[in-house]
Amino acid sequence: MNNITSTIHTYIASHAELVEAALRQSLPTAWEVPASLRESMDYSLMAGGKRLRPIMVLAAAESLGGSLESAMPVAMAIELVHTYSLVHDDLPAMDNDDYRRGKLTNHKVYGEAMAILAGDALLTHAFFCVAQSHKRFGVPAERVLAITEELAVLAGARGMVGGQAADMLGEQGLTKLEELTYIHTHKTSDLIVFSLRAGGHIAGASEAQLEALSEFGHALGLAFQIQDDILDIIGDEAKLGKPVKSDEKQQKVTFPYFIGMEASEQKVQELTNQAKEALIRSNIPNPERLLQIADYLMKRDH
């Protein structure tokens, strides 16, 4: 699996499977917690996410010679945080979505109160998993402490939650590309930056290597989000069987809304190259998988 000649698709699929297996075993049993809470957590955690963030933790650790086993608890933690954010984002008080990944949203199945609690429990379970990386896999305590602090910052008010709040407040009318970039940076890039730095911390990265991973993650996260916005429009066009008119596009304030589709596609390319250059310039010994992941994300169609 570590053989660089295996394709990036195989790498991603095999690592996603390892993450799935670890996540499946990680939740408290129905004996320990109310069965419906466990079911509600499990429902969203096992709903078919791409597992990109945990794969980034694992790939970053491997790029610096760290082991998969020691990185797995933190890989699980970031997927738990990502899942909680989606469960809460879908709630009636936020996006009010009925479907995610082709399945009914958590609150549609378990009710709003249980969906809120499941999100809370997924988030707190993430910190339990981070602590386990020291207790069960011997990751040095000072590295786990750094990971804990960065997770709290990058997932919290200064990170993803702040981005979500800015997005909500901006719904009244975003007028500048800088405002949208702020939202994307915090809503999307921050968890990606966390994933890469956490993998680095586990493998004992230097400050300079961590900085390169941050730069890579920041640019890649923005590229990922712009690509998401482009795919959204392409998806809408496929459903309608015709191009989305500019007044219809205007309902969603995204990069394509501000600069058009073609320039957005160029931006994805530019940011991906910028991300890759940060790694190539660094002294990270085995950056190949991370570089391949960047290309894979730029070319993805879902």
Query: Contact positions toward ligand GRG, by CB under 6 A?
Result: 49-50, 52, 85-86, 88-89, 94, 101, 160-161, 164, 187-188, 225, 228
Cα angle at 243 between 239 and 244, to 5 degrees?
80
> Residue 22 or residue 64: which is nearer to ligand GRG going by CB?
22
Q: How far is the CB of 251 from ligand GRG (least distance, A)?
A: 15
Residue nearest to ligand GRG (CB): 49
H or E, element range at 44: helix 35-45
Q: How far is the CB of 160 from ligand GRG (least distance, A)?
A: 5
| Residue with Cβ nearer ligand GRG (55 or 130) | 55
Q: How far is the CB of 85 from ligand GRG (least distance, A)?
A: 4
- Nearest residue (CB) to ligand GRG, 75 versus 139: 75
Query: Cβ 177 to ligand GRG, closest distance in Å?
Result: 17
Which of 120/228 has CB closer to ligand GRG?
Answer: 228
DSSP state of 245: P
Write the Ramachandran bin of 103: left for phi over 0, alpha for psi from -120 to 50, otherwise beta: beta
Q: Which residues contact 71 (CB under 8 A, 6 or more apart)?
A: 57, 58, 61, 62, 133, 198, 199, 202, 203
The residue among 283, 253, 254 whose CA lies nearest residue 267 is 254
Q: Which of 40, 131, 28, 24 is nearest to 79 (CA)?
A: 24
Determine contact, residues 255/180, Cβ cutoff 8 Å.
yes
**Cα pseudo-dihedral 209, 212, 216, 222, rounded to 10:** 130
Query: What does residue 252 show for φ and ψ, rounded to 5 degrees?
Result: -110, 120
Considering the complex, what minimum distance in angstroms separates the CB of residue 57 from ligand GRG?
13
Give the residue with the Cβ less far from ligand GRG, 211 or 228.
228
112 phi and psi angles, rounded to 5 deg? -60, -45
Closest CB to ligand GRG among 144 and 190? Answer: 190
Least Å distance between CB 49 and ligand GRG?
3
C-beta neighbour count of 262 within 10 angstroms: 9
Give the Cα separation of 237 and 201 in Å (integer). Answer: 42
The least distance separating ligand GRG from the CB of residue 45, rounded to whole angstroms, comes to: 10
Residue among 13 and 141 whose Cβ is closer to ligand GRG: 13
Q: Dig out the tokens for 76 from the structure.
A: 């699980």
